[in-house]
Amino acid sequence: MDNKNTKKPSFLFIGRSDEPILSKKNRKLLTDPLDDNNPITVQVLGICSALAITVQLKPAVVMTMSVIFVMACSNVIISVLRNLIPNRIRIIVFLVVISSLVALVDQFLKAYAYDVSKELSIFIGLIVTNCIVMGRLEAFALGNGVWKSFLDGIGNAIGYGIILIIVAFFRELFGAGTLWGIQVIPDFIYEEYGYVNNGFMLLSPMALITVGLIIWIQRSRNRTLIEEN
């Protein structure tokens, strides 16, 4: 049998039909943003929402899931349309695609998870201007195939989510002594050892300082990321 006929003539793999679905390169797209190229600590994208909603673990997880959904879908849509979008109006096209997806998430949360949606208030809406979505569309989806863009979207959204969840974990644990709303520090520690929750962790400045410390730890582990000045 002719070797060429065995290739999958698939819509997703235009130009690279012989590349396996999870080749080494594709896996790198997924894992790179988790640490070496993390959107928050290295690319400095999407900071605003990362800081504001990390008082508790639950909204942070909901936010992560919303961002994963929005990024995966918008990356795929823009990547499908990438040859049709005129360069001059691409920002508006991005905004339209992203804001329709975000409106979808917003309405969904209002219908099925009203408490969380109240807590997140305007920050779901602010995914529209979350530079992480826009930045990846501009930097990646506009020049790459559908499957790769999908992986890049998922990878970056998870990289963003990891930082969100780490910050939320520490802030909720030290600030309120709870995780996911359930008390984890037992009562006797409060009563017998005089332990007091550090309410300061719940206030906004500590989110900034926690992220600063995470950056410090990450960069002292991975020296290539250190900035000149």
131 binds another protein (CB under 8 A): yes
| Distance, CA of 95 to CA of 118 (rounded, Å) | 24
Nearer to another protein, 28 or 90 (CB): 90
- Residue 182: phi, psi to the nearest 5? -105, 135
| Distance, CA of 84 to CA of 78 (rounded, Å) | 9
Residue from 106, 147, 153, 155 binding another protein (CB under 8 A): 106
Residue from 64, 130, 149, 156 binding another protein (CB under 8 A): 130
Positive or negative torsion for Cα 114, 130, 95, 34: negative
Residue with tokens 């409106």: 103
Give the footprint of another protein on residues 50-79 (CB under 8 A): 51-52
- Residue 2: phi, psi to the nearest 5? -65, 135
Residues making up the chain, counted from first to last:
229
216 binds another protein (CB under 8 A): yes
Extract long-range pairs of 110-119: CB within 8 Å, 24+ residues apart: 113/62, 116/58, 116/59, 116/62, 119/53, 119/56, 119/59
Residue type, 228: E
Nearer to another protein, 26 or 130 (CB): 130
Nearer to another protein, 26 or 210 (CB): 210
Residue from 22, 44, 184, 189 binding another protein (CB under 8 A): 44
Give me the least distance between CB of 10 and another protein, in Å please.
34
23 binds another protein (CB under 8 A): no
Nearer to another protein, 114 or 195 (CB): 114
Residue from 22, 107, 180, 199 binding another protein (CB under 8 A): 107
Give me the least distance between CB of 209 and another protein, in Å please.
4
95 binds another protein (CB under 8 A): yes
Nearest Cα neighbor of 99 from 140, 76, 130 is 130
User: Which of the stretches 27-35, 61-69, 95-103, 178-186 binds another protein when contact is defined by CB under 8 A?
Assistant: 95-103
Give the footprint of another protein on residues 136-175 (CB under 8 A): none
